[in-house]
Structure 1
């Protein structure tokens, strides 16, 4: 809704522009190409005898321009275009968009109804359900997890068997519906530089990487004091907290010494946004089916 100034500014500017076009057309139609037996010209001459003539528009062409002016005026009567005046049809682009979305939802609902009563395992095995889930995933999830679901640093790979919060149907559906907030608190101040180094080496040892035994042993003592509450005594993590398993080779941010040092020193904050208001329950179920089919396809 425009304020009073812009309301009248648009009205005056629009009407003045249309009237100016009409005046220009009817002014130019009076320009004659001939005066008596002489040919009218603009007075421009090139190469001694090349004269620029000044001839009026053909009448049929002029009438086409008149029709466009009539069309513009009729449009402004029926549709909005003059400030806050709605036009006699009351049409708005927002109204049309809402109607088109309602129509699209109604057509899509007919497709989704086939999957409403399907059990999770049936959805995962249904090619059409997985295909629709793949397209929804591409629209809502691919920007973080990648078009193939393999993720990126800070965004989980959905094609392996490493799950921060578990891979049951309910756990995956909850992640999509409500989102997740994973926090790794910074430990740099508590451990100190030497303690961070020792803990990094111990975490490398847990994951099967080559590690200095002495530093790893010292790191285990620090781990047992500060890290065991989340990652567990054996380092296999805790899905209830979203604490990752440190004994495999699946790394959310990376498993190099430099990245591990950064993680332990400064902590991490991960956020999976909730899609409760973005996707209906039917659509979320299809996305969950596609996500679980990605892991199943790997054979893990």
Structure 2
């Protein structure tokens, strides 16, 4: 906060405190010429009279005490813009102190899992339960509470891993994130094969997940040569992808952005840009291991996990 804003706050504080003191003083005394307390002329039932009396002194003094307390509070804790109080207290310091204490408790809880491989952690039901809780708080916003994902967000319960499904690769994904980029190839393909080139390649890509997809399929046959001239660099000549760079397998009939002809054409034409944020700084390595163990266990099942 700048000095000017600080003085603005100080002026407001002084004006409010001074105004409260003046209001109490002005309303707490009788002045010459004021009517007597019994001269209100408001009488009911012969003996019920409305008086016009100031507040009792003890009540007024209580108000003055609250003002004195407020002044002392500001002096001790601060409240005048950028100028700290005598105790040098701040909500930031208080938060940091409480966070440090809670982090110490969490560290003690998580210490037994530090550095352990996630497939080993996945054998511990309690660890998986903790990982599930971390997942629900951190990851469910994208992957859903059931971890089945949505359009553009991968399903974590199947055995399809665009970046590799080994324990180390899953942990690496959680810790450091991933960034998958499918460039827009619409104009390039049009230059290579004409106005129908994107449609041809989309037909061929669709046929890769169908063993009979190329039979009597003119458009897919036309798209095959275009695919081999451009797409093999990432997805490979057989369309099985490359986990090292996040290029998906096109033969498994799993479509992150939708598998309809129109959705595939849109992907080829405009490209895709998917980002999995890094969670190393947010969760720390041990908590990342726990959530990675939970995720890894989803696609392996209890029997497979126990057998590892």
Could you list the per-position Cα deviations for residues 223-245 of structure 1 after superposition, in whole angstroms to 9, with x for gaps in the alignment?
A: 12211221122211111121111
3-state SS in 2 of match to 1:269 = strand
Alpha carbons of structure 1 residues 83 and 187: separation in structure 2 relative to 1, 3 Å = closer
The answer as to whether partners of 1:115 and 1:123 remain within 8 angstroms in 2 is yes
TM-score by length of 1: 0.88
| CA–CA distance in structure 2, aligned partners of residues 219 and 117 of structure 1 | 48
Give the aligned partner of residue 163 of structure 1: 161
Counterpart mapping for 1:117-266 below 5 A: 118-192=116-190, 193-208=195-210, 213-266=217-270
Q: Does 1:9 align with 2:8?
A: yes
* Gap runs ≥5 in structure 2: 43-48
3-state SS in 2 of match to 1:163 = coil
TM-score by length of 2: 0.85
* Gap runs ≥5 in structure 1: 44-50
The answer as to whether partners of 2:152 and 2:256 remain within 8 angstroms in 1 is yes
The answer as to whether partners of 2:38 and 2:52 remain within 8 angstroms in 1 is no
The answer as to whether partners of 1:173 and 1:285 remain within 8 angstroms in 2 is yes
Q: State the shift of 1:195 in Å.
A: 1.1
| CA–CA distance in structure 2, aligned partners of residues 187 and 84 of structure 1 | 55
Q: Which moved more, 1:281-290 or 1:146-155?
A: 146-155
Could you list the per-position Cα deviations for residues 109-147 of structure 1 after superposition, in whole angstroms to 9, with x for gaps in the alignment?
A: 110112125443231121221222222223332222222
Which of residues 105, 108, 128 is equivalent to 2:106?
Answer: 108
Could you list the per-position Cα deviations for residues 206-260 of structure 1 after superposition, in whole angstroms to 9, with x for gaps in the alignment?
A: 1239966121111222212211221122211111121111112221100011110
Q: Which moved more, 1:239-248 or 1:188-197?
A: 188-197
3-state SS in 2 of match to 1:19 = helix
Alpha carbons of structure 1 residues 259 and 24: separation in structure 2 relative to 1, 3 Å = same
Could you list the per-position Cα deviations for residues 275-300 of structure 1 after superposition, in whole angstroms to 9, with x for gaps in the alignment?
A: 22222111111111011122224999
Q: Does 1:18 align with 2:20?
A: no
Counterpart mapping for 1:260-299 below 5 A: 260-297=264-301
| CA–CA distance in structure 1, aligned partners of residues 30 and 249 of structure 2 | 86
Could you list the per-position Cα deviations for residues 145-167 of structure 1 after superposition, in whole angstroms to 9, with x for gaps in the alignment?
A: 22221222222111111110111
| CA–CA distance in structure 2, aligned partners of residues 289 and 21 of structure 1 | 61
Moved over 6 A (4+): none
| CA–CA distance in structure 2, aligned partners of residues 169 and 10 of structure 1 | 56
Alignment RMSD (CA, Å): 2.7
Alpha carbons of structure 1 residues 230 and 200: separation in structure 2 relative to 1, 3 Å = same
Alpha carbons of structure 1 residues 296 and 63: separation in structure 2 relative to 1, 3 Å = farther
The answer as to whether partners of 1:10 and 1:83 remain within 8 angstroms in 2 is yes
Counterpart mapping for 1:46-61 below 5 A: 54-61=52-59
Give the aligned partner of residue 29 of structure 2: 30
